[in-house]
Amino acid sequence: MSEKNMQIVLARRPTGAARESDFRLVETEAPEIGDGQFLIRNHYLSLDPYMRGRMSDAKSYVKPVEIGEAMAGETVGEIVESRNADFKKGDKVAGPFGWRLYGVGNGEGVRKIEDARVPLSAHLGVLGMPGVTAYVGLLDIGQPKRGETVVVSAASGAVGSAVGQIAKIHGCRAVGIAGGPEKRRYVVEQLGFDACVDYKAGRLWEDLKEATPGGIDVYFENVGGEIFDTVLRRMNPFGRIPVCGLISQYDVTEPYGMKNVRSILVNRLRVQGFIVFDHQSRRPAALKDLTQWVSDGRVKYRETVAQGLESAPAAFIGLLAGKNFGKQLVKLI
């Protein structure tokens, strides 16, 4: 191939809030493929909050991206050249190809997309890692029972919007927490949650109480900080809290001090951190159910699409600040 590759590398590790200058767009030679490999032209890049962790060298569950190395991330694209018998030119795939236009794979961690019922981009959202995260975290860790109240923060986001809709399918009362009146309306009117609290309205505790008249049985945690602390006060005995993310804490230098830990004891709560990568065996079941629900219109999703690889850093910083609306993608083609 003759085209150059473009990629975004980590220029330096942020202290406090991530900035655009922490990233750098670089042009490299087009990748060559060897035996058993294939070349992918990426169509969409997924931006996800967990990527903030990979920019830092604090101990975490994945190794950090090195300075000068391309940012890691999931993409969907099309195979344009192949020396692997299982993947042929024209195949659509999703895989860990990073913040770049072209990627090289050998099949490991790559998923062929054969189902044409939903658009390619959805395989990075509701039918990708965020959807599986919602499914595993809610059903396996949260274990909601019919009639219980499920609360989810970042409710209009890729994971949160799926959590609430899956909770509804399982016969629960679904209550979202989201920032601003527009997101709040979307969560209730478009996604069909029973209620949604706008945490920016300054009445978090009062609004949460009103939205959860029977207390909270499952809290799917995406944000951390003051919202987590407030929800703890509203948990019912034997409540479950799957901890999926702490987005409000990723960019701060001094973490929020959680005061309502007593609720864990008094209410015999189970608070459990999880990472979707530890639950790969559940992926086929999750994708089967989610594909059906999306096809049936029972699970809806929304995307915010930034145009061009060069817009990825600003879009990522916006994501950390909650400026996206639904799944944040970057269109690369």
* Binding stretches for a copy of itself (CB under 8 A): 53, 59-61, 224, 228, 237, 243-246, 249, 254-262, 264-275, 278
Other CB atoms within 10 Å distance of the CB of residue 174: 28
Cβ proximity to a copy of itself: between 258 and 321 the closer is 258
Q: How far is the CB of 14 from a copy of itself (least distance, A)?
A: 16
Count other C-beta atoms under 10 Å from residue 56's C-beta: 15
- Is the CB of 41 or the CB of 52 nearer to a copy of itself? 52
Complex with a copy of itself: residue 117 or 259, whichever CB lies closer: 259
Considering the complex, what minimum distance in angstroms separates the CB of residue 51 from a copy of itself? 14
d(CA 308, CA 314): 11
In the complex, least distance from residue 244 CB atom to a copy of itself, rounded to whole angstroms: 8
Min. distance of Cβ 263 from a copy of itself in angstroms? 8
- Residue 134 in tokens: 């919602």
* Residue 2 or 281 having the CB closest to a copy of itself: 281
What whole-number distance in Å separates Cα of residue 148 and Cα of residue 167?
A: 9
Q: How many CB atoms lie within 10 A of CB 86?
A: 12
Give the nearest distance from C-beta 109 to a copy of itself in angstroms: 20
- Minimal distance, residue 177 CB to a copy of itself, in Å: 17
Contact of 200 with 207, CB cutoff 8 Å = no
Rounded distance, CA 250 to CA 56, Å?
10
Q: What is the distance of C-alpha 252 from the center of its chain?
A: 20
Q: Which is nearer to a copy of itself, 1 or 62 (CB)?
A: 62
Task: Find, among 320, 313, 316, the residue nearest to 24 by Cα.
Answer: 313
Q: Which is nearer to a copy of itself, 267 or 328 (CB)?
A: 267
- d(CA 199, CA 214) in angstroms, rounded, equals 20
